[in-house]
Amino acid sequence: MLNKVILIGRLVKKPELRESEGGLNYLKATIAVQSHYKNKDGDYEVEFIEFTAFGKVAQNTAKYCDKGSMINIVGSLSNNVYTDKKGINHYQMSLIANKINFLSKNNKKEEIPMEEFNDDEVFTLGQ
């Protein structure tokens, strides 16, 4: 079986690193992905997709990306199920970013010390 999502888009705002109660670094951010389809006015539609990243992937993305940075996300879908106070089950699909590739030239490759990340976690292209 396969659960893999690949997206290329631009960050809609600067990602902010957060820390969970258990001390795990994470971020939630949104990218704008252009559709292949045009609307009735002849403009391409844009999908806004929220994703979550953890650990070094989150740390490096927050540190080296900004609003408008083009990134490639390789991740998977996760089905979140929870029960609210009224006992009603809710189902929500989430995108978990397992790898984020920096594609924008404005990402500062020369400022990224190699010891800060593993090639499997993040890389910069196009400098």
Quick check: 114 pLDDT over 90?
A: no
The three-class DSSP label of residue 95 is strand
Both structure tokens of 12: 């809609």
Which uninterrupted H or E stretch holds 107?
none
According to the model, what pLDDT value does residue 106 have?
60
- 28-84 tens-digit pLDDT: 999 999 988 888 999 999 999 999 999 999 999 999 999 999 999 999 999 989 899
pLDDT band at 112 (very low <50, low <70, confident <90, very high): very low
Name the superfamily (CATH) of residues 5-124: Nucleic acid-binding proteins (2.40.50.140)
Contacts of 98 (CB under 8 A, 6+ apart): 57, 74, 75, 76
Quick check: 117 pLDDT over 50?
A: no
Quickly count: other Cβ atoms within 10 Å of residue 58's Cβ.
26
- 88-103 tens-digit pLDDT: 999 999 999 999 999 9
> Chain-wide mean pLDDT for the chain?
86
Q: What is the pTM of this model?
A: 0.77
According to the model, what pLDDT value does residue 104 have?
80
User: Which residues are paired to 122 by β-bridges?
Assistant: 100
Whether the CB-CB separation of 126 and 101 falls below 8 Å is answered with: no
Contacts of 55 (CB under 8 A, 6+ apart): 24, 25, 26, 121
- CA 31, 64, 107 angle in degrees (round to 5)? 85
